Structure 1
């Protein structure tokens, strides 16, 4: 167990360094460093046989909590995976593309996946209106919606089909602010990365969108483990905030 926990510690620390180097604008890399420290402590404790020193009832209680946590984690991750292949449906009135980090003249890779997916849908459904949703974060030079609209226009989408929501800072605001731009009720799809679809649809329904579906954009493999873990905690927070 000493070696096993040490390996986990190394994996977590390397993951944290990798996520930090990506400069995603999120501080979630700290979770990986904290996890690495936790597993390092477990490794040291295993080396000195500290587990055997604990009373049996305490050991049993810890094992029950670990098992319960593993079950909850597996269920939530399964729900997240259920949104991975949603493609929406043809002829939607609106699609809402959720924002993500942007740079001066271009969207981040994560956001490009969303925008490229939106472009494909909009070209196949020429009557659909697109709402690009995202404000300006502290680490961003411009509102996300402005960069997103420019990207869509360069890809051949008419500006007349694009509405910009430029104030939101969270997914909840993305949805609620975008809804105010909808001149009439109609079918809506939320376009976001696959790991985010499940929670985004929950938020959409909570904010009153009834005829809503998801359109899942891909995610780069190297970003996926971090995003899946981050989404787990976001989903837990969503349920506590209800």
Structure 2
């Protein structure tokens, strides 16, 4: 077996392992199906790489190869954009509102991704008493309760008093997270110019910051969190598509 075939096999097996872990541990998302597709593509290329390479060496196949590598380069640029965006708009310590973006449940418990966001928000809240925690997330089709309620239960158990929690349980997208959260804040006498901190994963910060501005938050900072090594590949592929959709709506 040649080095190329060994590398392909290792990548395919790693993706297969990741797909299996996500199937068991994560909710059904577009990212999961993208990981299935990547796994299948790698195995197909492993078994038929000689024929595929031959087809891509001339004619229409050569054009497809150029398109593929241009698309891959564009994807890498998007990944770089995600990572660099997490470094912008760091918290100043003056934030009075902490918006925690929902990220799926496992049963009635926060997923690993959501738990990371909640823990980061809790740490900031404990270091800056007096902040209002806005928990933003509706109920998905495969969930038994709104994400906002599951987040509230988690934070109550950690000692956060009820008066410091504001539940936004109707949103189903990042755009709605911010729009609906601001609507609730205005009922509390707070506006878009209130210093606000949103908590989400690093890969999500670029699009989240854009939707925060679009909703009317003029003083929004980001508190990025890490992502499980198993979740990251599928999440980044999904987020790359979401960024393209976000640009199309601008």
TM-score over 0.5 (shorter chain): yes
Tell me if the contact between 2:22 and 2:230 (Cα under 8 Å) persists in the aligned partners.
no
TM-score normalized by the length of structure 2: 0.85
Alpha-carbon spacing, 1:123–1:10, altered in 2? closer, same or farther (3 Å): closer
Matched with 1:41 is 44
Tell whether 2:64 aligns with 1:62.
yes
Q: Which moved more, 1:229-238 or 1:128-137?
A: 229-238
From the superposition, tell whether residues 36 and 156 of structure 1 become closer, same or farther in structure 2 (CA, over 3 Å): closer
Partner of residue 169, structure 1: 172
- 2:145 maps to which of 139, 142, 146: 142
After superposition, the Cα gap between the structure-2 partners of 1:135 and 1:211, relative to the gap in structure 1 and judged at 3 Å, is: same
User: Is 2:93 the counterpart of 1:90?
Assistant: yes
**Greater alpha carbon shift after TM alignment, 150-159 vs 172-181:** 150-159
Mark the runs of 5 or more structure 2 residues left unpaired by the alignment: none
Distance 2:200 2:24 in 1: 23
**Hey, what does 1:205 align to over in structure 2?**
213
Q: How far off its partner does 1:205 sit? A: 1.5
Tell me what 2:232 maps to: 224
* 2:197 is equivalent to residue 189 of structure 1: yes
In structure 1, what is the Cα distance between the partners aligned to 2:82 and 2:207?
7
Q: TM-score, normalised by structure 1?
A: 0.87
1:55/1:124 Cα in 2 relative to 1: closer, same or farther (>3 Å)?
closer
Distance 1:147 1:156 in 2: 15
- Which residue of 98, 104, 118 corresponds with 1:115? 118
Q: 2:160 aligns with which of 137, 143, 157?
A: 157
Residue 78 of structure 1 corresponds to 80
* Partner Cα distance (1:160, 1:46) in 2: 60
Alpha carbons 1:83, 1:214 under 8 Å: kept: no
Contact 1:134 1:165 in 2 (8 A): yes
Secondary structure at 1:139's aligned position in 2? coil
Equivalent pairs counted in the alignment come to 241
Query: Judging changes above 3 Å, is the alpha-carbon distance between structure 1 residues 120 and 51 closer, same or farther for their aligned structure 2 residues?
Result: closer
Q: Which of residues 179, 183, 200 in structure 2 aligns to 1:180?
A: 183
Structure 1 counterpart SS, 2:110? coil
Once the 2 structures are TM-superposed, how far is the Cα of residue 92 of structure 1 from its aligned partner? 0.8
Residue 133 (structure 1) shift: 0.7
CA offsets, 1:80-137, max 9 Å, x none?
A: 1124456522021211101122355532221111111111111222232111111111
SS at match of 1:28: helix
Distance 1:54 1:25 in 2: 34
**Backbone CA RMSD of aligned residues:** 2.4
Q: Partners of 2:154 and 2:143 in 1: how far apart?
A: 16
* CA apart distance, 1:72: 0.7
